[in-house]
Homo-oligomer: A and B are copies of this chain.
Amino acid sequence: MGDEAGKPNAILSSSSTSDQTLRALKPLRCIVKLGGAAITCKDELESINEENLRSVCAQLRQAMTPCKSSSPAKNLGMDWSRRLGNPPVSTIDEFRNKQALDLDNNFIIVHGAGSFGHFQASRSGVHKGGLNLPLVKAGFVATRISVTSLNLEIVRGLAREGIPSVGISPFACGWSTCQKNIASADASQIIKALKAGFVPILHGDAVLDHLQDCTILSGDVIIRHLAQLLMPEYVVFLTDVLGVYDRPPTDPNAMLLREIEVAEDGSWSIVKPNLPHAKGAALPQLTIQMH
């Protein structure tokens, strides 16, 4: 991830997203990162934190509800799957009578893997490449099965809240890397989905790499690329800690940083609390928590 810092032009020029496509897009309101730790149980293989996921989806729905709405509209679900019970004929009829969705949903959501994909990727070494090795090829397949199954669950969770979500896998839309840095990342389909009124749901994925065959493209790298390309009003990181710390938050001495000032050139300094040597040339990962 860090390898890319300071190379935004290289990333942007490698995308085949046309200027015309970009110009036709109204300003993006928000990119939200759902941290893997916030929506899955990190210590239990492929286990979703159902309560957190429900809460996150409800908060996102609230964030997309325009302020002018005096009373929140009835939530009509868009997941009409068998496992939710009988066919939702009454919901479908209510949609039929609705004039508009009343959502300001100009959002992109990117999620991490949490307890999905990590086991498969780390045991097979997908991040190190080498698809000629049967173990790496099998691990690539196993990793994609795991992360796409999480993506489907998140799309379902958001759709149940009435958010018109569409899953878009970076691998499927042809994103690739070169020695782990983004080499090709066409965002055309993401932009077209936004223009059509959908919320694209992307995820960290196993992708092809020009030099080492394959690697893992993390949700954070995807967000950085999309933020540089689409210039959203906000980038919001939902995670399981209170914000950015001066060291790993599991360290009992870790201190929460209250205010970080970022200059135009990307250099930064910590304003609150007042710490010695708290300056840097590269932008740290900003964490803002929604309540």
Assess the A167–B172 pair: CB atoms within 8 A: yes
CA distance A238 to B226 in the complex (A): 41
0 or 1 for each of A21-39: is its CB under 8 Å from B? (1 = yes): 0000000000000000000
Q: How far is the CA of A80 from the CA of B134 in the complex (A)?
A: 14
**Residues in B neighbouring A46, C-beta threshold 8 A:** 81-83
Q: Complex Cα distance A189/B140, Å?
A: 16
Number of copies of this chain that the complex holds: 2
> A273 at interface (Cβ–Cβ under 8 A)?
no
A123-B92 in contact (CB<8A): yes
Contact B134 A99 (CB under 8 A): yes
Query: Which of A2-10, A49-57, A190-198, A251-259 lies at the interface?
Result: A190-198
**Taking beta carbons and an 8 Å cutoff, which residues of A are in contact with B?**
45-47, 76, 78-83, 87, 89, 92, 95-96, 98-101, 119-120, 123-124, 131, 134-135, 137-142, 144-146, 148-149, 152, 155-156, 159, 164-169, 171-174, 176, 186, 188-189, 192-193, 196-198, 208, 213-214
